[in-house]
Amino acid sequence: MILINGESKEHIEISDRGFQYGDGLFETIEVRDGSAVFLKRHLERLNLGCQRLCIPYPGAELLSLEARKLCRQQDLTRAVLKIIVTRGSGGRGYRQPDVIHPTRVLSLHPYPDYPLTYQEQGIVARFCTTRLGLNTALAGIKHLNRLEQVMAISEWNDPDIQEGLMLDANGHVIEGTMTNLFYIKNNSLYTAALTQSGVAGIMRRIIMTLSADHGLSVVEHEFTQDELLSADELFVCNSIIGIWPIRQIETVHFSVGPITKNIQSWLNRFTSDDSMEAGCIG
Amino acid sequence: MILINGESKEHIEISDRGFQYGDGLFETIEVRDGSAVFLKRHLERLNLGCQRLCIPYPGAELLSLEARKLCRQQDLTRAVLKIIVTRGSGGRGYRQPDVIHPTRVLSLHPYPDYPLTYQEQGIVARFCTTRLGLNTALAGIKHLNRLEQVMAISEWNDPDIQEGLMLDANGHVIEGTMTNLFYIKNNSLYTAALTQSGVAGIMRRIIMTLSADHGLSVVEHEFTQDELLSADELFVCNSIIGIWPIRQIETVHFSVGPITKNIQSWLNRFTSDDSMEAGCIG
């Protein structure tokens, strides 16, 4: 089932600026036992993205209501909720219309059946040749212009490689094609600052907060492939997969280290708490 | 009237990757007396873009057939034909499906009623603060990830300013929000090389060829705002507007010079020839 502006539909107008120009934003949210996990945080980021693109935000109340309606349609133990907000239809060429009626699309998707070993024993990653363009105005937000990711992920088809790591135009390592990236070196946690490219993930922010709360030093900075490859531990994360340790990047091997395991357990506890809370208020 | 994969429709599936990720390409084509002007060249560029994005090209024969069908629906003296080709529906996340069934959308739009003075006496332009990201893989092609242009054109609302000029992340001047940009200095014609950003317009290529054929030196290179502002003449172009001389950029004034007028007349003659030819084979 798909809700478009609150109505059950499966099609959108050709004139929608999401289709014409990728003029919009999206969120990808885990659904667990009928509740959208970290929904409030996702909607906050969506609101921020709307502010950056000057798209009127449909409002947390309305979006939460529709999200709950969708999540309760079926007997859902686990699924993925996608929320898209676009600038709606109209406007000649790139110029937006004087009055914007944003389009909101909420859709449910099957939860991907990733093996549990990815979380426990880690994954294999590679470096992509497709680079992330630099754009401070679009950096951090989860907008609908995703050709870079589409092209990066098309670079390999080997099912033994689970994620591709992307560099920006300056050669700094930024993130995975569908994940944020962390590494641990001398008991500190490092990740890219995302000021010029990349998506500031909900899971990334939670991991940074949880780690700081547990006394880890958390550093956002620029780093190279060589710095990454000299890490003690490293992992990728997003709202659907949680944390996947990386056990191999191309020919370099890593072990699933104690700090990564700690962060995983902090995250599991924190997510359960949020799910219970969401269930109560949902 | 809109043709989606050959059928008269107005809506597209939510799952279309054009809507989900901007995973596709488009062409904007002038329609004159029922014929799509420079259609062959537009389809060649579309084919090139499909190759770059690894989207199966629907074929010039099919697209020409549908374009003619659409252009002849009404008594069209002048209109705009837009062709969109996307990677179609499907694929989990960013990864494309194993078998791609591209979506093609052909739609007709009113010809914009720009005053004739823009062509004859020139326009006023400004520099945009929104920068073009650098991406060699996407540079030159007319893909559906157009948030940079949407944001750049939203920077001003003054109807006395007709175009915004965009710089790339390195500070080089590249193009207008909806046009390519040329300048003339000491009888040579200059334009940006578009190796890292920008759209390689059909009109841009025609102007370069016509100018070279008439003995002008044509140079693609990197240039700064200062170099642009010290030009003898300058103009923007695209397939819909033809050539608009620039008579003012912010506080700097220019005259509509003899070389710009020459190029305009070469272009008018060349376009008429193509229209007649298209009319014959259409």
CB contact under 8 A, B133 and A131: no
CB pairs under 8 A between A and B: 167
CB contact under 8 A, B150 and A4: no
| Phi and psi torsions of A29, nearest 5° | -125, 135
Q: Nearest CA of chain B to the CA of A143: how many Å? A: 9
Identify residue B207 by its one-letter amino acid code. Answer: I
CB contact under 8 A, A93 and B178: yes
Q: Could you read off the pLDDT of A138-187 as tens digits, one per residue?
A: 999 999 999 999 999 999 999 999 999 999 989 999 999 999 999 999 99
Domains contained in chain A, CATH given: 2-110 (3.30.470.10), 117-273 (3.20.10.10)
| Phi and psi torsions of A60, nearest 5° | -65, -35
Banded pLDDT at A280 (limits 50, 70, 90): very low
Q: Nearest CA of chain A to the CA of B243: how many Å? A: 18
For residue A94, the chain B residues in CB contact (below 8 A) are 146, 149-150, 152-153, 177-178
The pLDDT assigned to B9 comes to 94
Whether residue B94 contacts residue B218, with contact meaning beta carbons closer than 8 Å, is answered with no
Give DSSP secondary structure letters for A74-114.
Answer: S--SEEEEEEEEE--B--STTSPPSS---EEEEEEEEPP--
Is B28 an active-site residue? yes
CB-CB: which of A2, A22, A197 is closest to B146?
A22
CB contact under 8 A, B148 and A154: no
Among the listed residues A27, A30, A175, A233, the single catalytic one is: A175
State how far the Cα of B215 lies from the Cα of A7, in Å rounded to an integer: 61
Q: Could you read off the pLDDT of A205-261 as tens digits, one per residue?
A: 999 999 999 999 999 999 999 999 999 999 999 999 999 999 999 999 999 999 999
| Phi and psi torsions of A28, nearest 5° | -120, 120
CB contact under 8 A, A112 and B92: yes
Q: Nearest CA of chain A to the CA of B95: how many Å? A: 6
Chain A: residue whose CA lies nearest to B107: A14
Q: Could you read off the pLDDT of A9-51 as tens digits, one per residue?
A: 999 999 999 999 999 999 999 999 999 999 999 999 999 999 9
CB-CB: which of B4, B13, B92 is closest to A10?
B13
Among the listed residues A142, A163, A191, A233, the single catalytic one is: A142
| Phi and psi torsions of B20, nearest 5° | -70, -40
Chain B: residue whose CA lies nearest to A135: B133
The pLDDT assigned to B282 comes to 32
Q: DSSP label at B140?
A: B
| Phi and psi torsions of B42, nearest 5° | -60, -40
| Nearest in space to B247 (alpha carbons), one of B270, B231, B263, B269 | B231
Q: DSSP label at A230?
A: T
Among the listed residues B30, B66, B175, B233, the single catalytic one is: B175
CB-CB: which of B11, B144, B146 is closest to A14?
B11
Q: Nearest CA of chain B to the CA of A185: how many Å? A: 31
Q: Could you read off the pLDDT of A50-95 as tens digits, one per residue?
A: 999 999 999 999 999 999 999 987 678 899 999 999 999 987 699 9
CB contact under 8 A, B23 and A144: no
The pLDDT assigned to A277 comes to 59
pTM for the whole thing? 0.95
Q: Could you read off the pLDDT of A109-122 as tens digits, one per residue?
A: 999 999 999 999 99
Helix (H) or strand (E) holding A186: none
Blockwise average pLDDT, block size 10, chain B, 282 residues: 94 96 97 94 98 97 96 83 96 87 96 95 97 90 97 96 96 98 98 96 98 98 98 98 97 97 97 64 32
Structure tokens at B7: 């059928």
State how far the Cα of A246 lies from the Cα of A241, in Å rounded to an integer: 13
| Nearest in space to B114 (alpha carbons), one of B162, B175, B182, B180 | B162
Among the listed residues B86, B142, B177, B233, the single catalytic one is: B142
Q: Which of B7, B20, B128 to mutate to test the interface with A (most CBs of A within 10 A)?
A: B20
CB contact under 8 A, B146 and A151: no
CB contact under 8 A, A105 and B149: no
Give the C-alpha distances (Å, rounded to integers) separating A103 from A9, A159, A250, B213.
13, 36, 42, 49
Q: Nearest CA of chain B to the CA of A262: how many Å? A: 29
